[in-house]
Structure formats: structure tokens, C-alpha cells
A and B are shown apart, each in its own frame.
Chain A
């Protein structure tokens, strides 16, 4: 079914308390800022698990949602860029789940690809492997990592066409394609909404099959 066009507020309206939300971006580059603002201003969902490489910056992007006390759990690889994450974790208001960045990306990819988990050598012998199943494969120690599914994925693409095919620009691609495939509901915020074939079929990064709703960036 083609992706339907919606306002940012409508697009986030089905996100419920307790949901897991995947949010694209590396820092603020490639982050779906209009959708995050809509989640901050127009949604009442609380106790959210947010999966994102970072949790925005103080008072910016996902940092706004953190300030509202609506994030219960943050899953990502680098929260150091927002000191308010440390404060919230210290106060016991936020559970932080840290993953090596490549494991975060692969766990999202695995979820989208219908994979039940994967073994990786990354993190073996470190605090991040604590409690994880270990297995030696071809002489190399590996840990078992689970896929990361989302109830909703909020992604940003520079261009989206009328069906929902997406094209990302430069390093704004980052986690967006893996997240777009890993959620039950995927909302794409697009910089530019274009006609069919304005994105060459060979250049489509995320095929429309993954995209449910589209909204325009502000």
C-alpha cells in the first residue's frame, strides 16, 4: 500500500505509553526533527523506550523528550553528548542500555530482516558483554545479541516519492534505513516530496514497502 501523507502530529498519534520508538540520526544529522517535535508537543505517550544512537543534545531533538521525563529507557551507543542523560540515569529516572555502535546498527538490521539474533565478536571480554550468552565459533569468542524491534520508527530522508520510496543525502543516511525496516509503523519525514521516478529506481535507498506514513519536514 502506498505511504499516506500525514501531518507530523497525526503521524505520531498512534504511539502509545510504553512503546518502543526508533529514531534515526547521528547527533542531529539525519534526525526527524519535525516528528520528534510533534511527539514532544502533541503526544501524551510516556514510559517510552527510545532507540537512537544519541539522545539528542540538551533541549534539542530527543533531548526535549528526555526533559519532559517521558523516556524510561534509552538504547544507543553514545549518550555522552547530552549531559542530561547522565543526570537522569544518576537520578534513577532513566535506564540506559549501551551497545557498541555496530551492534546497535546490526540489531536494527536483524529486526528488519526477520533474524532472531546474531553472534558477534564485538564487546567480548568487556562490561557490555556482561550477562550475554557467549559462544566460540571457528575459534573466535562471540556474544549473542538480540534484534531491536520498534513499535514505531521515525526516520528522516531528504527525498521521498509519492509511494514512499526514500533517498537519503550524504551522512544523513546513517541509522535511518535500518530503522525504517525494523518497526511495525514507519513514518518518514521528508525534506522534499517528489513525483514517481524523480528518485531513480536504482537510487532508492529504502523501498516504499517499509514506509507507512510520510510527513513534510518544517
Chain B
């Protein structure tokens, strides 16, 4: 593969976003998406710590200690940006004003259940805005590598990790392909990175149909 898996996934996910959309990007792979959108993409990025209109990372002299994203990294604000408070930020999220949320996950089930915040047997200490976003956003795109570092599939028949939400994912993008959740079933709609259908089958822990 000429490009590492995470970059390939982010580049493909960027193609799902169209000008005018309001988009929330999670930590990890989704954070790599803005460089594929480019300047003047017309996509409005919302960060749940209360800014609509996130711009590119600041140059060193532009760093403002009062201006961060939800990953607590310094960002800039674009012309036309709006600041608000946390209650309004999540009113916007729950109220259906976010067109697309892109986030990473530990597991996704064939019916679109998402587990992305806790590992069984460990203390449950951080959920952040994940539950609000996957329920409130009109479309949820999961970006993740197809398997764990131990070679376990992340797309599964049923999640074994604590759930973030049920039946929430619309699209799952891995380095091998794009899986859509349609009426509670998975459909492989696209192959990526030179993968064949059998490669996706081998790396996926749930049945899916193929509609390439």
C-alpha cells in the first residue's frame, strides 16, 4: 500500500463531505480529514467545545490559548465563525443541526451499533460528546482500521464493548473498503487500497452483501 491506512481512510472520508455541510470531526483519523478538504472547501467544521467554523492549525505566532478544539489542540477560527457555550453547542448537536459526524470506533455492529468509548473490565472514565454526536448528527460516518492490532475484526455481528449508541452508524470506512448500513444490514459499496472482496470478508466479523 502506497499510503498508510489511516491516511487512506481520511482521504476517502473527506470525499463524503460537500460544501455547505456542518461537520463534527472526532479525535484520531477524523482529525486527518481537514488536510484533504483544503482551503475554501465550504465545509463548516463544528467542535463541541463551542465553536462553529474551525480553521487550520495555527502557525506558532498565531497560537491563542483560548482557542482549542475538542481534542484540546490549538486551532484557528475562520471568517464567519461563531462561538457559543456548551449547552448551546449540544442543543445544536441533539437538535439535528450537524449534517455529518465522523468519528473513530472500537467496534461497529452490522446494524450500526457503535462502541467507541470504553473497554470492558477497565474503569469507565471518559465519554465526552460521543453519545450526543452519534445520536444527534443526521449522518454518522465511522472511520477505523478494519482490524485491531491483534488482528480481531472491528466490524462485528454484535458489539462486545460498551455501546455508544444503537443503530447509529450510516457508513463505515476502513482501509479495505466502504460499508454502508442499509436497513440494519451491511453492504460493501466500494473497495479501497487495492483490496478484493475476499480481503474484506477475512477482516470482517459480520456478514455483508456486495454492491460495488
Contact of B90 among A105, A158, A169 (CB under 8 A): A105
List chain A residues, Cβ under 8 A from B129: 77, 100-102
The distance from the CB of A170 to the nearest CB of chain B, in whole angstroms, is: 4
List chain A residues, Cβ under 8 A from B125: 78-80, 85-86, 89, 96, 98
Q: B54-76: contact bitstring with A at CB < 8 Å (1 yes, 0 no)?
A: 00000000001111111010000
The distance from the CB of A28 to the nearest CB of chain B, in whole angstroms, is: 8
Is A120 in contact with chain B by the CB < 8 A criterion?
Answer: yes
Q: Are the C-beta atoms of A100 and B66 separated by less than 8 Å?
A: no
Is B205 in contact with chain A by the CB < 8 A criterion?
Answer: no
Write the chain A residue with the least CB distance to B166.
Answer: A125
List chain B residues, Cβ under 8 A from A102: 48, 86, 89-91, 93-94, 129, 131-132, 136
Q: Are the C-beta atoms of A109 and B87 separated by less than 8 Å?
A: yes
Write the chain A residue with the least CB distance to B77.
Answer: A170
Q: Is the interface of A mostly helix, strand, loop or mixed?
A: mixed
Is B174 in contact with chain A by the CB < 8 A criterion?
Answer: no
Count A interface residues, CB 8 Å. 48
Is B127 in contact with chain A by the CB < 8 A criterion?
Answer: yes
Given A100-B131, A125-B166, check contact A120 B83 (CB 8 Å): no
A176–B113 CA distance with the chains assembled, in angstroms: 33
Q: What is the size category of the interface that chain B forms with chain A?
A: 35 or more
The distance from the CB of A52 to the nearest CB of chain B, in whole angstroms, is: 12
Q: Which A residues from 114 to 171 make CB contacts under 8 A with B?
A: 120-128, 158, 168-171
A86–B104 CA distance with the chains assembled, in angstroms: 23
List chain B residues, Cβ under 8 A from A171: 47, 49-51, 66-69, 83
Write the chain B residue with the least CB distance to A101.
Answer: B129
A26–B51 CA distance with the chains assembled, in angstroms: 13
A125–B159 CA distance with the chains assembled, in angstroms: 12
Q: Is the interface of B mostly helix, strand, loop or mixed?
A: loop
Q: Are the C-beta atoms of A158 and B66 separated by less than 8 Å?
A: yes
A109–B77 CA distance with the chains assembled, in angstroms: 26
Is B124 in contact with chain A by the CB < 8 A criterion?
Answer: yes
The distance from the CB of A63 to the nearest CB of chain B, in whole angstroms, is: 14
A155–B90 CA distance with the chains assembled, in angstroms: 20
Q: Are the C-beta atoms of B48 and A30 separated by less than 8 Å?
A: no
Q: Are the C-beta atoms of A121 and B84 separated by less than 8 Å?
A: no
Q: Are the C-beta atoms of A26 and B132 separated by less than 8 Å?
A: no
Q: Are the C-beta atoms of A100 and B67 separated by less than 8 Å?
A: no
Given A27-B72, A30-B66, A126-B165, check contact A101 B132 (CB 8 Å): yes
A122–B101 CA distance with the chains assembled, in angstroms: 15
Contact of B84 among A104, A124, A173 (CB under 8 A): A173
A158–B65 CA distance with the chains assembled, in angstroms: 12
Contact of A173 among B85, B126, B165 (CB under 8 A): B85
Known: A79-B126, A105-B85, A109-B87. 11 other contacts (CB 8 A): A29-B66, A85-B125, A86-B123, A96-B124, A98-B125, A98-B126, A127-B124, A170-B66, A171-B69, A173-B83, A178-B87
Measured CB to CB, the residues of B under 8 A from A are 47-51, 64-70, 72, 77, 83-87, 89-91, 93-94, 118, 123-132, 135-136, 162-166
Top-4 shortest CB links A-B = A102-B90, A80-B126, A102-B132, A105-B86
Measured CB to CB, the residues of A under 8 A from B are 26-27, 29-30, 53, 77-81, 85-86, 89-90, 96, 98-106, 108-109, 120-128, 158, 168-178, 205
